[in-house]
Chains A and B, each alone.
Chain A
Amino acid sequence: MILLTRKADFSAAHFYWNDAWTEAENQRVFGKCANRQGHGHNYTLEVTVEGAVDPVSGFVVDLKQLKDIMEHEVVSVYDHRHLNHEVPEFAATVPTTENIAIAIWRRLDGKIPGAKLHRVRVYEMPDLFADFYGEGA
Chain B
Amino acid sequence: MNLVAHLNRRYRFAAAHRLHVDALTPARNRAIYGKCNNPFGHGHNYVAQVTLSGPVDAATGMVTNLGDLDAFAQREMLDLFDHANLNTLECFRDLVPTTENLCIELWRIFAQYPHAKLERIRVEETGNNAFDYFGDGARIQHEE
**In-complex Cβ contact of A99 among B10, B61, B144 (8 A):** B61
**In-complex Cβ contact of A98 among B51, B62, B67 (8 A):** B62
Cβ proximity bits A99-111 to B, threshold 8 Å, 1 near / 0 not = 1011000000000
CB–CB A29/B60 < 8 A:
yes
A137 cross-chain contacts in B, Cβ below 8 A:
4
Task: Indicate whether B74 reaches chain A with its CB closer than 8 angstroms.
Answer: no
> What's the nearest-Cβ distance from chain A to residue B3, in Å?
6
Cβ proximity bits B128-144 to A, threshold 8 Å, 1 near / 0 not = 00000000000000101
> What's the nearest-Cβ distance from chain A to residue B96, in Å?
28
**In-complex Cβ contact of B62 among A20, A96, A119, A133 (8 A):** A96
Identify which of A95, A98, A99 gathers the most chain B CB atoms within 10 Å of its CB: A98
Task: Indicate whether B78 reaches chain A with its CB closer than 8 angstroms.
Answer: no
Task: Indicate whether B117 reaches chain A with its CB closer than 8 angstroms.
Answer: no
B66 cross-chain contacts in A, Cβ below 8 A:
128
Q: DSSP class of A's interface residues: helix, strand, loop or mixed?
A: mixed
B51 cross-chain contacts in A, Cβ below 8 A:
131
Identify which of B9, B11, B62, B63 gathers the most chain A CB atoms within 10 Å of its CB: B62
B144 cross-chain contacts in A, Cβ below 8 A:
3, 5, 48
Count of interface residues, chain B, beta-carbon cutoff 8 Å = 21
Task: Indicate whether B65 reaches chain A with its CB closer than 8 angstroms.
Answer: yes
- Across the A-B interface, how many residue pairs have beta carbons closer than 8 Å? 66
Instruction: Decide yes or no: A128 and B8 within 8 Å by CB, A29-B65, A31-B67, A119-B142 being known contacts.
Output: yes
Instruction: Decide yes or no: A133 and B61 within 8 Å by CB, A99-B56, A119-B142, A128-B66 being known contacts.
Output: no
A18 cross-chain contacts in B, Cβ below 8 A:
59-60
A5 cross-chain contacts in B, Cβ below 8 A:
144
Task: Indicate whether B6 reaches chain A with its CB closer than 8 angstroms.
Answer: yes
CB–CB A132/B6 < 8 A:
yes
**In-complex Cβ contact of B142 among A21, A31, A101, A133 (8 A):** A133
CB–CB A133/B6 < 8 A:
yes
Task: Indicate whether A11 reaches chain B with its CB closer than 8 angstroms.
Answer: no
Q: How far apart are the CA atoms of A101 and B65 in the complex, in Å? A: 17
In the complex, the 8 A-B pairs of residues with the closest C-beta atoms, listed nearest first: A94-B61, A96-B61, A131-B6, A127-B10, A98-B5, A99-B61, A98-B56, A129-B8
14 A-B pairs in the complex with CB atoms less than 8 angstroms apart? A30-B60, A48-B144, A98-B5, A98-B7, A98-B62, A99-B61, A102-B56, A126-B10, A128-B9, A128-B66, A129-B7, A131-B6, A132-B5, A133-B142
Besides A98-B5, A99-B56, 7 new A-B residue pairs in contact (Cβ under 8 A), listed by A number? A94-B61, A97-B7, A101-B5, A119-B142, A131-B7, A133-B142, A137-B4
